[in-house]
A and B are shown apart, each in its own frame.
Chain A
């Protein structure tokens, strides 16, 4: 009854709050280790049963849920919610490994369970990729401070204006250019939308189509590199598998252009059918003139990507260079920025970085807990128990991501979900780079789906339209983007093809993962053998065997040292006796040593021994005393080995 009295917007909001709670509860329940496999199915959002887990873990979960509900009702900052959840998890699940009393003192010698929090935050200063985030934010903010939207739209218009419905295609093109520079979807909607929305309406397109087009094309910002959510993914997922940001950027390129292409095709078809197919004549002169004004902005992503892929810079360095480039362009060429305005841009970027970094820092605390409690491993067991194949697994991942994208902003979603999903996907043989693009495209659609579609809100206020109307206007575009998403998900070559060809020297075609957990490895990985396997040359040793060998090799040297110091009459014999007394019997050590001793006197004696030891230890083995023995008594060695 009350439900009916609410406006649709507030209904949506309550639903969101409930979904958010169940969503986090879902990940928590896996942490409790008592969740049933069914809880991982997509339906769980509808009827999650809170009573299912019982015992101490169940009550702990209840505490977590209550804390979460309380904090959400109080409107607490997101970083605190994550931090408190992580703190509670550590406290309740730690099983007494931490000394909580120590937390009340400032004595650094005692270990307190929460010391890992500041350690995690301080550990951020070792993640090189992190550095790229403030740089890209700053360069994007500097570059978009001026009127580059006009310049970019002019370039796009001169290039594609000759198509039927060319104006709409130019709007998409302008969004692609702008997205590559600013990397932020809402900024793209505002900048390009302010220019193109009136132009599109003047060009005969319906307001609804125009609004839907710029709102959805603006969301391409995070797919087209450089993109900050991609950097966050690389940092967060890097724990499960090292991720090369360059590869991730490259993998986003084709999907981004493909989605833009799909939106353009839809516009062209609609324009031809609706009679708004106004075409502008194409002229190289116009292209040249537009490029002259627009090339400086377009060169920014060209410099970043070109620098990365030619090997000139790492992504972090490319970001720093892009800051300097953007400064030069805006101060000396576009001249839209004065030095006096610069601090303001820098401060705003820092504040944005701050609200991001603190969430990341505390989310790492939560991740730490998840890893410590082996939650991803348990999730893998659950998933395997569900008899999922890769196709279904990817479907579930997409569904979860779409829901998550509708509920939270892209970076929070990546922070929470990537550490859980990436290890599972690797088990299925899905390339983490491919998965990253699936993440990004899903969350891109999340910018357009209510209740928390950032682009919807921005469009609603920029174009001065009710939210409901904006939502209706983007529906056809969401459907198109989902078609693209399906393609990107199930045809790995779209994302991975360019990466394979340019960065990995492999054929374009990327095989769809078979999902066989028995064979999750890629073709270029060496075979993994168990201890004892392998032939004589490359036998795999157990940890015990390796320790024994290194210990006995040390004995060899120690004894040799004693022999030399005591100046025994027959050093080689004394050495061999010493070895026998010390119980150095490992064949792997003794045989090469004896062999080398037998060869003593020959110039290669020491070299042979060193090589033999190197083979044993797989590292340079220096044993000067041994050399001394072998050098002193060239003749004695042959007799000793008899």
Chain B
């Protein structure tokens, strides 16, 4: 039963990941295309206005009605072309791998710019009315990404929390406190689910009673109740997840994750230590003082905490009780990144709870 539930949890998390990643990409692309469309279509081009404004900073006044306006109009496409082609040329020359010789780079630059311009023309032709719906759509997706992200943050234990006091709780009481805390949070989330369902139903009534005229986003054909379904969905999942965290804590199946997970990879740390010459390679790092809420369930491949009591702190996941440091309002590890994407992430799907390099090094 527990096994099936946790598998379901993981499945939901994977679906959420797929959703937020594609939603973020779609949002960015749609708004970008909207910008491109508006810059290259219509009589009053934003690009022209910007060009005139920028030139105006340097002196010559080319605003509408002056003698220079017509020449600005004539010269702008060529300036833009030269700018893009120049950038593309420099890019082709500077690419990290496969940098091109001059002639080929120039060819790629001119050809690439022409193709890009052609694509914009196709875009303008295909969508003569532009993508005015892009930003409202992206905002709805933001709502979805945000709340699904909050539900994922529950899975990853990455919600900001105040835990000055909880760290001082004696170890044997800790599991009861955790259970209580998680239960209350789950109850709160359930309450939010409930009022969100009320709100979605309200939007639905608005949509139905007006025969599909009201309760719809302006400029979009998406009914509001569809967009707002993100709320009960996310809060519903969070209710279940907080409840499961409570159960896991009560069973003593939560361990402290390395607070530096995702902050710095092991390679960078070692390189730093060697460069400074203070720590020899391979030395055991003391537990860091970074305050964190990061806990994760014990994975199957973890050695049991009480099976290896003498192990060094880095050799096994530390049980929470053994640590006395901590803080109050904590940061998200996801906030902090350095070249960690460089390291290939092996079987990412299996380790969907962030384990970091601590786990990888073991």
Contact = CB atoms under 8 A, between A and B. Distances in A.
A412 B336 contact: no
Contacts of B135: 128, 131, 316
Q: Which of B159, B269, B335, B348 has the most CB of A within 10 A?
A: B335
Contacts of B32: 320-321, 323-324
B152 interface: yes
Contacts of B46: 311-312
Interface residues of A, number: 117
Given A74-B180, A320-B27, A355-B158, A460 B290 contact: yes
Interface in B314-349: 325-329, 331-332, 334-339, 341-342, 345, 348
A296 B31 CA distance: 22
A147 B90 CA distance: 19
A9 B204 CA distance: 53
A574 interface: no
A336 B342 contact: yes
Given A145-B337, A198-B272, A312-B39, A335 B53 contact: no
A147 B268 CA distance: 12
Going nearest first, the 10 A-B pairs with the smallest beta carbon separation are A354-B149, A357-B146, A198-B275, A75-B166, A320-B31, A118-B199, A350-B20, A354-B150, A310-B50, A461-B288
B175 interface: no
Contacts of A604: none
A372 interface: no
Contacts of B228: 118, 122
Contact of B139 (A81, A131, A296, A313): A131
A194 B148 contact: no
Contact of B195 (A78, A115, A130, A348): A115
Interface string B288-318: 1111010000000000000000000000000
A592 to B, nearest CB: 37
Contacts of A548: none
A358 B150 contact: yes
A359 interface: yes
A461 B97 CA distance: 34
Nearest to B224: A122
Given A147-B339, A333-B96, A464-B285, A354 B148 contact: yes
18 contacts: A77-B159, A78-B161, A80-B184, A80-B188, A115-B202, A122-B231, A144-B337, A186-B335, A191-B338, A194-B338, A198-B272, A293-B94, A311-B49, A351-B153, A352-B332, A357-B146, A407-B328, A409-B331
A206 interface: no
Interface in A389-436: 407-409, 412
B17 A347 contact: yes
A75 B162 contact: yes
B31 A131 contact: yes
Contacts of A72: 162, 164-165
Contact of A108 (B93, B139, B160, B201): B201
A89 interface: no
Contact of A125 (B143, B195, B325): B143
A267 interface: no
Nearest to B189: A80
Contact of B97 (A292, A335, A464): A335
Interface string A194-211: 100110011000010000
Given A354-B151, A457-B289, A75 B181 contact: yes
B50 A122 contact: no
Interface in A53-112: 71-81, 83-84, 87, 103, 106, 108-109, 112
A134 B24 contact: yes
B195 to A, nearest CB: 5
Given A463-B272, A464-B272, A108 B188 contact: no
Interface of B: 17-18, 20-21, 23-25, 27-29, 31-32, 34-35, 39, 46-47, 49-51, 53-54, 90-91, 93-97, 135, 138-140, 142-143, 145-153, 156, 158-168, 177-178, 180-181, 184-185, 188-189, 191-192, 194-205, 224, 227-228, 231, 259-260, 262-264, 268-269, 271-273, 275-276, 278-279, 285, 288-291, 293, 325-329, 331-332, 334-339, 341-342, 345, 348
A451 B35 contact: no
A343 interface: yes
A278 interface: no
A68 B146 CA distance: 26
Contacts of A407: 328-329
Contact of B332 (A334, A346, A355): A355
A240 interface: no
Contacts of B20: 346-347, 350
B28 A324 contact: yes
B152 A347 contact: yes
A201 B291 CA distance: 27
A71 B166 CA distance: 10
Given A106-B201, A324-B28, A335-B97, A350 B145 contact: yes
A117 interface: yes
A192 to B, nearest CB: 10
A452 B329 contact: yes
B94 A296 contact: yes
A327 to B, nearest CB: 8
Given A80-B185, A103-B195, A119-B199, A467 B335 contact: no
Contacts of A78: 159-162, 329
A194 B264 contact: yes
A213 interface: no
Interface in A308-348: 310-313, 316-317, 320-321, 323-324, 329, 332-337, 341-348
A149 B338 contact: yes
Contacts of A235: none
Interface of A: 9-10, 13-14, 16-17, 20, 71-81, 83-84, 87, 103, 106, 108-109, 112, 114-115, 117-119, 121-122, 124-128, 130-131, 134-135, 138, 141, 144-147, 149, 184, 186-187, 190-191, 194, 197-198, 201-202, 207, 292-293, 295-296, 310-313, 316-317, 320-321, 323-324, 329, 332-337, 341-359, 361, 407-409, 412, 451-452, 454, 457-458, 460-464, 466-467
Contacts of A345: 341
Nearest to B20: A350
B341 A145 contact: yes
Contacts of B165: 17, 72-75
Nearest to A73: B165
B182 to A, nearest CB: 9
A134 B149 CA distance: 11
A54 B325 CA distance: 39
A350 B149 CA distance: 5
B271 to A, nearest CB: 7
B237 to A, nearest CB: 11
Given A73-B165, A112-B195, A451-B328, A190 B336 contact: yes
A135 B272 CA distance: 32
B335 A187 contact: yes
Contacts of A190: 263-264, 336-338
Given A75-B165, A117-B192, A464-B272, A316 B158 contact: no
A586 to B, nearest CB: 36
Contacts of A348: 262, 334, 337
Nearest to B290: A457
A347 to B, nearest CB: 5
Nearest to B228: A122
A84 B17 CA distance: 29
A10 B149 contact: no
Contacts of B338: 144, 149, 187, 190-191, 194
Contacts of B96: 333-336
A566 B68 CA distance: 63
Contacts of B328: 13, 16-17, 20, 407, 451-452
A358 to B, nearest CB: 4
B169 to A, nearest CB: 8
A202 B274 CA distance: 12
A454 B289 CA distance: 11
